[in-house]
């Protein structure tokens, strides 16, 4: 004779073919009419990796308060038992917490993955800090996003007129972003002509950070381009912003944002190009110098910053087109550095 299975609520027998809905905690079976879930929904809950719990095994009702899973941000259904982390007290679906409700109920304390990993050694160290530590450098940096290289020609194609990489860059017209650890691992030749650009978001506030960065990179850059110096017209910086072994040229801003600067190694003979060094309120700033190469050819080097307040199209129309026309008439090799505030990951569609 087949064993009888009684419903956990009405205590009546449940035929074998209807023994589907069972509590993940007490393992009792229920008639569909005796619980708040039908067979289809119960199977869907199981397939999603969650567990269904009967009325008797659920925690006390929270009334009409909706509980959201901290992981997926979705509301946890009332017929599901949430997992609560004993450290952060956030609540999770059993599938998002990676633990079945039946097992969760056996634990005196349960920690979510984030809190659990936080107890592991060195869990707070990001990839960049870890890599710099392996290289024997002070780990003062936060993690950086390593961006792909982009084509300067693709940007020039957006501007009015006809320009090419041969007109506006030396070498191959390709730039590359580096995290400090990536730069150190490349082991660049120190006797090659090299430039560095950084958006410093106030030179006065972060001059010490710049010095620490240069000490970490341990590379004799010939020029260092600085955007967003936040040096205002008729307002000299209150602190010393000089770098040992470098001259400094800049174009101040007419607002509280922007400003551009160039640190030039003191062994380089140069002159500032005032015609190219411009400031347009809420639009952009630029600073340019001209240096003479060993073959007596002239090389222009500039740093540009575009303000967020101006659209890319207005920036091109009101500032960049005129600047490029002036550079084109000079017919000298030109290197551009700066922060154009253009999403270079989507430069084909950024407006």
pTM of the predicted structure, to 2 decimals: 0.59
Burial class (CB in 10 A: 0-12, 13-18, 19+), 70: buried
CATH-assigned architecture of domain 141-346? 4-Layer Sandwich (3.60)
Report the C-alpha gap between 8 and 208 in whole angstroms: 70
Give 332's pLDDT tier (boundaries 50, 70, 90): confident
Question: Token pair for residue 270?
Answer: 């140069």
Q: CATH classification of 1-124, choosing from 3.30.40.10, 3.50.50.60, 3.30.360.10, 3.40.50.300?
A: 3.30.40.10
Q: Taking residues 288-293, what's their average pLDDT?
A: 91
- Domain locations in the chain? 1-124, 141-346
**16 DSSP assignment:** G
Coil, strand or helix at 92: strand
Adjacent-strand bridge partners of 13: 6
**Mean residue pLDDT across the chain:** 81
Least confident of 131-145, 289-303, 334-348: 131-145
Q: What percent of the chain has pLDDT over 90?
A: 30
CA dihedral 160, 291, 216, 201 (to 10 degrees): -50
Chain position carrying tokens 């072994």: 245
pLDDT higher than threshold 70 for residue 338: yes
């Amino acid at each position: 004779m087949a064993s009888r299975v009684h419903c956990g609520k009405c205590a009546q027998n449940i035929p074998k073919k209807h023994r589907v809905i069972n509590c993940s905690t007490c393992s009792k079976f229920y008639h569909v009419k005796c619980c708040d879930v039908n067979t289809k929904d119960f199977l869907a809950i199981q397939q999603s990796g969650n567990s269904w719990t009967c009325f008797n095994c659920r925690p006390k009702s929270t009334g009409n308060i909706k509980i959201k899973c901290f992981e997926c941000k979705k509301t946890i259904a009332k017929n599901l038992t949430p997992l609560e982390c004993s450290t952060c007290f956030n609540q999770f679906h059993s599938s998002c917490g990676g633990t079945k409700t039946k097992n969760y109920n056996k634990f005196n304390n349960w920690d979510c993955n984030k809190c659990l990993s936080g107890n592991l050694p060195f869990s707070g160290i990001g990839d960049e800090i870890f890599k710099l530590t392996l290289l024997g450098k002070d780990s003062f940096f936060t993690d950086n996003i390593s961006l792909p290289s982009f084509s300067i020609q693709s940007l020039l194609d957006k501007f009015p007129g006809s320009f090419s990489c041969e007109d506006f860059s030396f070498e191959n017209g390709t730039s590359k972003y580096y995290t400090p650890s990536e730069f150190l691992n490349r082991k660049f030749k120190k006797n090659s002509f090299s430039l560095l650009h950084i958006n410093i978001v106030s030179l006065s506030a972060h001059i010490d950070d710049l010095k620490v960065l240069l000490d970490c990179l341990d590379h004799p850059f010939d020029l260092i381009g600085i955007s967003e110096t936040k040096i205002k017209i008729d307002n000299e910086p209150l602190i010393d912003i000089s770098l040992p072994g470098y001259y400094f040229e800049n174009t101040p801003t007419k607002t509280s944002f922007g400003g551009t600067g160039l640190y030039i190694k003191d062994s380089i003979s140069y002159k500032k190009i005032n015609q190219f060094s411009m400031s347009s309120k809420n639009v952009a700033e630029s600073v340019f110098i001209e240096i003479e190469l060993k073959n007596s050819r002239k090389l222009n080097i500039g740093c540009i910053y575009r303000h967020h307040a101006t659209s890319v199209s207005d920036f091109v129309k009101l500032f960049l087109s005129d600047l490029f026309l002036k550079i084109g008439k000079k017919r000298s090799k030109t290197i551009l550095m700066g922060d154009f505030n253009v999403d270079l990951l989507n430069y084909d569609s950024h407006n």
